[in-house]
Copies of this chain bind each other. A is one copy, B any other.
Amino acid sequence: MYDPVMRVLTVLEILQARDFVSGAELAERLEVDLRTVQRYIVRLKDLNIPIDSSRGVGGAYRLKPGFRLPPLLLTNEEAFALSLGLRPLRQVGLSAFAPATEGTLAKLGRVLPSALHESVRTVEEVVAIEPGPWVVSTSVDCLIKAASAIRAAHRIRFGYQSHDGAASRRHIEPYAVLHFDGRWYLIGHCLSRCAMRTFRLDRVTDFEVSKATFRRPADFDARRYMQERMPFVQSDYQIDVWIDMPIEEAERNFAPWRIVTEPQDGGTRLRCGRDRLEMFAALLLSTGKQIVVRSPPELRKTFKQLAKAAKQASRPEQRISKRPL
């Protein structure tokens, strides 16, 4: 076919689909002379599409990232994946980093083949995604500021309202932000306490980025940090109990609640941090197993209170008052 436009685009398509390709192969695919292929390569370079080339045995052409995106030649399957990927972006909370999401959706909507568009809509229709009822909205502005400060290695200050309602002002070297369990967390080094701390971004106010910089640990892994630290994050009580339950069953029951389990004395030792004891005590009670409290002493008091409340609740129903109409 005589159509330079089509051929040039085909060269680009092959380059995008492959890591490298020789001039002879391109000439064969296009059914033109090798010299013509070389002219096409020059044409693409003139379009600011950066193409690397290497001479000699095994010589080839390859694409390299440039300053501007070249025309994308995507297969229908690739476009489907991209279109599908834009939807959950909002739900995971990342669309704040990609303000062009809506515009991109519009653009794809214009060019996606009808059958493909129909497939995307079908998946959306029959496959529903619900983040969960406890997803907490975080200020987009705060999230972006935090991410920018981390990227630029700048210290930050903000007002913080902790779990017990106490307000404080913090001066932090931020290491990472993490979307976990429906909430955004900031992980960093607290300069006041000289220790690592974790903050819920929805409790942050009056966010400021300092000019002062710091050196962020090069290999800091937010996920690993949270997995190791979460059970003890910001806890008023360090809990240590023994339960008459095999380690396997304990792991199934308690791991999701961020409780450290280890086998001991024919049962399992449970350790975790908690701000309030009732919830944890109730969780243990719900297992129906024997429990031995090692620490804190307050936990025994809590069980005493629960015993009283449970006993009262086990009595036959008392009428509070006549039912209103």
Contacts and interface: CB of A to CB of B under 8 A. Distances in A.
A163 to B, nearest CB: 14
Question: Which 5 A-B pairs rank lowest in CB-CB distance, beginning with the nearest?
Answer: A85-B85, A282-B282, A81-B98, A307-B310, A71-B71
Given A98-B77, A318-B292, A130 B303 contact: no
13 contacts: A69-B112, A82-B86, A82-B104, A85-B85, A88-B89, A122-B151, A130-B179, A134-B256, A265-B321, A278-B286, A285-B285, A293-B317, A304-B310
Nearest to A91: B92
Contacts of A12: 71
A58 interface: no
Contacts of A127: 94, 97, 147, 176-179
A81 B92 contact: no
A89 B100 contact: no
A281 B266 CA distance: 28
Of A114, A127, A291, chain B has the most CB atoms within 10 Å of the CB of A127
Interface string A112-143: 11111100001101111110111000000000
A194 interface: no
A6 B281 CA distance: 70
Contacts of A73: 71-72
A183 to B, nearest CB: 10
Nearest to A311: B307
A288 to B, nearest CB: 6
Of A86, A110, A113, chain B has the most CB atoms within 10 Å of the CB of A110
A184 to B, nearest CB: 9
B303 A290 contact: no
